[in-house]
Structure 1
């Protein structure tokens, strides 16, 4: 298991899948082990995935100070991984809650980001948050599904704070609810550090105005990908995320939920690989700075 050491001495793990150029991948959850990402629908055919297990998850060690689970405190873990890999700059992909970590990293280390891919990304770092109404509106798109009635009632109770998370509404997170999706969801509880998850978005993690100002100067190309059926973020909120970057593409994957590489792997891989390849070609065609 490849390991490296964070600045505070915590030993962190990363998993390598595939060949070709490296693509560093930050998981969401928040604080879910990177195992849930798999090979991102077959993206390993195009890139060598470097999947980070955030501190306290997967094969990474539990830190001595639990306050370091806060999202902004882990930016230096990402930078330590880059240095460990010997990359002058890197292509970075982040999913869900990992999106805020990637945005904070890009704001602090813009010169280290060559390309950035944000997949159904949480944009709390920009002050953009999914609301209960967002989730209910997205859920309403699934009214024809056989599990809708029970799931919607459970979802509404959870969002109102009247009930705990109920597996009955798990299908809303997926574009299609089948055996693959059910198994993926079933594994999530064991993969997630709930204590760390509670601290990830804790007070002080974000300064949206400062992050927006820094990202407005980011020259790296950015792809923001939303799922058509995802409630967090819905496509309109994801589009506002893309607007924070001067060089961003925005795309919506048809029929996809929060895990688009499961819903239609071919569509997902084709779109992400095309972005990475096109921006690499464009960068190669530009004259070098003198």
Structure 2
């Protein structure tokens, strides 16, 4: 398995999936989630190689000596070290969920190193657009006609009241809000996620307020000339589609795609539609692409 060394000496790893030139560097979410959950991004690795970073302290990357280095702003140096290790002057960068925080911070610090930026149901906290209770409520209301809706709300209530004693069934029922469909495949995928999260202090360090400066980040991203795609999902709260539209205004060249009938993991809900959306012509004149 390929490895490289971060500037602070921490050994880091990455997966290489697919073959060919011009890889897409992928930053996992979580924050600090094992990258296995990304799979091959719905078959994207069949179209172009993927370099999937194992963030420090996760997967096969080492646990750093300094736990403060889990801050997203400090992990920008890890992404830059990976680019240098691969030997590319500029890179295509993609990120999912909380990985969007790191990708946005990297793009702000190194706009000249970005060929394209693809944000898949991303955290937009670096832009001051983090999810709110209203966004979460909107996303849940979009599922109110589902036969499992009342049971999922009841499971959420039990979790909120006594999270430590919530059952696995409660968590699995509540998780239905995160997906556009629910079947045995999705249930197995969700069940496997229980052991994929960083259990130490890293997750809480990742997006500390001290790690983020939205006004500074927005000012720097205004100089990013590379094309940006923000892929939102109809049933997701991170981000809601209208929040993705607001975020696009901070970039000189950005478009928004909204995957209908999908949740936080759109490549799992409908791989074919996911691939279609993220491979649409980046030079399209359409500001927003909504499919159904």
TM-score by length of structure 2 reads 0.91
What CA distance in whole angstroms lies between the structure 2 residues aligned with 1:253 and 1:266? Answer: 11
- Superposed counterparts of 1:125-140, under 5 Å: 125-140=126-141
Q: Deviations over 1:115-151 (max 9, x none)?
A: 0000100000111110122112211111222221121
- Which residue, 151, 161, 172 being the options, matches 1:167? 172
2:51 paired with 1:50 = yes
What CA distance in whole angstroms lies between the structure 2 residues aligned with 1:273 and 1:28? Answer: 21
Q: Deviations over 1:126-178 (max 9, x none)?
A: 111101221122111112222211212333565xx534273321011111111
Partner of residue 148, structure 1? 149
SS for the counterpart of 2:129 is: coil
What CA distance in whole angstroms lies between the structure 1 residues aligned with 2:189 and 2:244? Answer: 24
SS for the counterpart of 2:232 is: strand
- Which residue, 175, 194, 197 being the options, matches 1:192? 197
2:242 paired with 1:236 = yes
Contact persistence 1:43–1:273 (CA under 8 A): no
Moved more, 115-124 or 266-275: 266-275
Q: Deviations over 1:79-105 (max 9, x none)?
A: 000011111100000000000100000
TM-superposed deviation, 1:191: 1.3
Q: CA RMSD in A?
A: 1.5
Contact persistence 2:248–2:256 (CA under 8 A): yes
Contact persistence 2:23–2:50 (CA under 8 A): yes
What CA distance in whole angstroms lies between the structure 1 residues aligned with 2:119 and 2:128? Answer: 16
Contact persistence 1:223–1:275 (CA under 8 A): no
- Superposed counterparts of 1:1-290, under 5 Å: 1-20=1-20, 21-155=22-156, 162-164=161-163, 166-195=171-200, 196-275=202-281
Q: Deviations over 1:173-197 (max 9, x none)?
A: 1111112221221122211103221
- Tell me the matched-pair count: 276
SS for the counterpart of 1:223 is: strand
What CA distance in whole angstroms lies between the structure 1 residues aligned with 2:44 and 2:24? Answer: 10
What CA distance in whole angstroms lies between the structure 1 residues aligned with 2:158 and 2:128? Answer: 25
Contact persistence 1:46–1:273 (CA under 8 A): no
Moved more, 215-224 or 166-175: 166-175
Runs of 4+ that moved beyond 6 A? none
Contact persistence 2:172–2:187 (CA under 8 A): no
What CA distance in whole angstroms lies between the structure 2 residues aligned with 1:241 and 1:157? Answer: 34
What CA distance in whole angstroms lies between the structure 2 residues aligned with 1:214 and 1:203? Answer: 18
What CA distance in whole angstroms lies between the structure 2 residues aligned with 1:234 and 1:108? Answer: 26
What CA distance in whole angstroms lies between the structure 2 residues aligned with 1:93 and 1:275? Answer: 16
Contact persistence 1:230–1:257 (CA under 8 A): yes
SS for the counterpart of 1:74 is: helix
Q: Assess, with a 3 A threshold, how the Cα gap between structure 1 residues 274 and 19 changes in structure 2: closer, same or farther.
A: farther
